[in-house]
A = this chain, B = another copy of it.
Amino acid sequence: MTDITDFDCDYENKWCPGCGNFNILAAMKEALAGMKLSPENVLIVSGIGQAGKTPHFLKCNFFHGLHGRALPVATGAKLANHKLTVLVSSGDGDCYGEGGNHFLAAVRRNIDITLLTHDNKVYGLTKGQSSPTSDMGFVTKMQRSGVISEPFNPLSVALSLGAGFVARGFSGEKAHLAGLIRAAVSHKGFSLVNILQPCVSFNHLNTNGWYKKRVVKVAETGHDPADWNTAMHLSREWGDRIPIGIFFQKQGPSFTDRIAHLNEGPLVERTYDSAAVQAMLNGI
């Protein structure tokens, strides 16, 4: 185990005091250190939002890109170098709003990256508009009569897309969350950890206390993560009981496993071969 503090970084943290993100950050460090990874071996790609700032607060290699577009950047990086350990830090708006289409595609590719969605059910950084996961009726300065769309259910959708690792964490259960992140990073293929995260500034509905009363660990209920049907049912539970844990896991060949050229090593390690290229050119 590398030391958790190896991942500490002296860049000033910019989240609000009390934000659920702090625990997510701590859980990430714990998971990475627990896996004996060190900052040099980790690439975190993020989008824009409070969640997207995460890699600035954790020592690592990072690419902090556009709102909604972390997944394709991560996919490109993984294609270029499939030896990389790639995590994506995304928000509920970033990932299921602006970036919804990439979420669908990333799951379908089964690209071996770990997606951590900091799901505070609100647009934090832009000051509190509703997000795709906001509950119906959630009132904001912008949604003045409350949200009138069905909330996006990331777990159900991931399951219906054939995802191989589908989990839900809660920032208030840090150790449990660290375990989920560790399992997700260890999983070969696409892994989703949707993390319930209170936003103390803009979400006064889904607060820490609200969640504390509701979360139930599926592992403790004897759920078998190989059971897709139950996973789907669990994913649809929301209200007095909110299941957290690994809903579903199934190993299968990942995207880069399926590309023959990559069996011989990462593209980034291939050096230019003038003779081979000339042979191709001559063959035209």
Of A105, A150, A156, the most chain B CB neighbours within 10 A belong to: A150
- Tell me the nearest residue of chain B to A160, going by C-beta: B156
How long is the Cα–Cα vector from A157 to B255 in the complex, in angstroms? 21
Interface status of A284 (Cβ within 8 A of chain B): no
- For the complex formed, measure the closest distance between the CB of A128 and the CB atoms of chain B, giving whole angstroms: 20
Interface status of A35 (Cβ within 8 A of chain B): no
Whether A259 touches B148, Cβ cut-off 8 Å, given contacts A156-B160, A159-B160, A232-B232, is: yes
Q: Tell me the number of copies of this protein.
A: 2
Interface status of A114 (Cβ within 8 A of chain B): no
Whether A149 touches B255, Cβ cut-off 8 Å, given contacts A160-B160, A161-B157, is: yes
| Number of residues from A at the complex interface, CB < 8 A | 31
Whether A149 touches B108, Cβ cut-off 8 Å, given contacts A157-B157, A159-B160, A160-B159, is: yes
Name A246-265 residues within 8 Å CB distance of B: 255, 258-260
Task: List residues of chain A with CB under 8 Å of any chain B CB.
Answer: 96, 98-101, 104-105, 107-110, 132, 145, 148-153, 156-157, 159-162, 232, 235, 255, 258-260
Given B98, B100, B148, B258, which contacts A148 in the complex, CB threshold below 8 Å?
A: B258
Cβ–Cβ < 8 Å partners of A108 in chain B: 132, 149-152
- For the complex formed, measure the closest distance between the CB of A130 and the CB atoms of chain B, giving whole angstroms: 11
- For the complex formed, measure the closest distance between the CB of A261 and the CB atoms of chain B, giving whole angstroms: 10
Cβ–Cβ contact A100 & B105, under 8 A = yes
Cβ–Cβ < 8 Å partners of A145 in chain B: 260
Cβ–Cβ contact B153 & A105, under 8 A = no
Given B101, B148, B156, which contacts A255 in the complex, CB threshold below 8 Å?
A: B148
User: What 7 A-B pairs are tightest by C-beta distance, nearest first?
Assistant: A156-B160, A100-B101, A148-B258, A150-B162, A101-B101, A160-B160, A108-B149
Cβ–Cβ < 8 Å partners of A105 in chain B: 100, 132, 149
How long is the Cα–Cα vector from A149 to B254 in the complex, in angstroms? 9
Cβ–Cβ contact A153 & B149, under 8 A = no
How long is the Cα–Cα vector from A148 to B258 in the complex, in angstroms? 7
Cβ–Cβ < 8 Å partners of A160 in chain B: 153, 156-157, 159-160, 232, 235
Cβ–Cβ < 8 Å partners of A159 in chain B: 160
How long is the Cα–Cα vector from A201 to B226 in the complex, in angstroms? 40
How long is the Cα–Cα vector from A159 to B157 in the complex, in angstroms? 9
Cβ–Cβ contact B109 & A149, under 8 A = yes
